[in-house]
Amino acid sequence: MSNKRTLAVLVENKPGVLDRVSSMFRRRGFNIDSLTVGRTENSELSRMTIVVDGCSKRLESQLRKLINVVSIDDVTSKPNVTRDLALIKVKVNSDTRSEVLQLCEVFRANVVDAATESMIVEVTGAEDKIWAFLENLEPFGILEVVRTGVVAMARGNRAVSTKEYKPRPYRNGSTPQPVFATSNGPFVV
């Protein structure tokens, strides 16, 4: 069985943060399986979903050392939802079109574009579902694939909160307030 870990990482939304994270992975010899990053409900924070192969404790402690990393949540260890989205341009003709459409129905994929000799289908799901879908489309001729990479979230009421995060008071003259983050204990200095 694979030794993959999925980490939900909150980082400060600052220039170069992605560089800091990916450079640490490279120089410490960790392999990134997938890394996605996007804004959160708090515009000062971004959230990364990082899928890595093995040794997540060592990796976590290295990640935590980066000043811009606010919190780390290993969602692999708890019930979770993981999703990957793929756009697939597949070859079709009058004979195969209906068969492909049938497959889309089985995998709950949507056709988002159709042309004379091809169509683009959009499929969402856990990684293994995407692989299965791709395998099924293979005989028809896959022309192009793009995937977003995995995003993940732990199930249940407990949340990785961004609400308590306050940006550092860089602007001149304002007084910094102590900052608390809830998820992984105090980060107050």
Partner 1 sequence: MLLSGAEIILECLIKEGVDVIYGHPGGAILPTYDAMTRYPQIHHVLCRHEQGASHMADGYARATGKVGVAIATSGPGATNLVTGIATAMMDSSPMVCITGQVPTGAIGSDAFQECDVTGVTLPVTKHNYLVTDVNELAYTIKEAFFLARSGRPGPVLVDVPKDVQNAKCEFHYPEALVSLPGYQKLPPPTEEELTAAAELVRQAKRPVILAGQGVILSGAGRIVREFAEKTDTPIAFTLLGKGGVPEEHPLSLGMMGMHGTGQANAAIQEADLLLAFGMRFDDRVTGNIKTYAQKAKKLHIDIDASELNKNVKVDLGIVGDLRTVVEALTPRVEETKRPEWWSTLKSWIQDTKDRCIGEREVEDKLLAAHVIQDIFKFTRGEAIIVTDVGQHQMWEAQYYPHERPRTLLTSGGLGTMGFGMPAAIGASMGLKSSNVWAIVGDGGFQMTLCELATAMQERVPIKICIINNGFLGMVRQWQEMFFDKRYHATPMLSPNFTKLAEAYEIPAKRVTARAQINETLSWAEQHTDGPVLVEFAVEQHDIVYPMVPAGADLDKMIRRPAMSQV
Binding residues vs partner 1 (CB under 8 A): 11-12, 15-16, 19-20, 23-24, 27, 57-58, 61-62, 64-71, 165-166, 168-173, 175-179, 181, 185-189
DSSP string, 17-62: HHHHHHHHHHHTTPPEEEEEEEE-SSTTEEEEEEEEES-HHHHHHH
Instruction: Tell me how far apart the alpha carbons of residues 181 and 172 are, in angstroms, rounded to a whole number.
Output: 24
Helix (H) or strand (E) segment spanning residue 84:
strand 80-91
Least Å distance, CB 139 to partner 1, is: 46
Looking at beta carbons only, is 156 or 185 nearer to partner 1?
185
Distances (CA, A) of 19 to 9, 14, 37, 148: 14, 10, 12, 19
Residues paired with 145 in a beta bridge = 88
Host H or E run for residue 69: strand 69-74
> In terms of CB distance, is 63 or 152 closer to partner 1?
63
Considering the complex, what minimum distance in angstroms separates the CB of residue 1 from partner 1? 23
Query: Minimum Å distance from CB 73 to partner 1?
Result: 14
Q: Which CB sits closer to partner 1, 140 or 187?
A: 187
Task: Please state whether beta strands 32-39 and 142-147 pair in parallel, antiparallel, or not at all (unpaired).
Answer: unpaired
CB of residue 14 vs partner 1: minimum separation in angstroms?
9
Q: Which is nearer to partner 1, 54 or 98 (CB)?
A: 54
Q: Measured from the CB atom, is 115 or 189 closer to partner 1?
A: 189
Rounded least distance, CB 25 to partner 1, Å: 11
Q: How far is the CB of 77 from partner 1 (least distance, A)?
A: 18
C-beta of residue 11 within 8 angstroms of C-beta of residue 36: no
Select 44 or 122, whichever has its Cβ closest to partner 1.
Answer: 44
Residue 127 CB contacts under 8 Å (≥ 6 apart), including other chains: 82, 84, 150
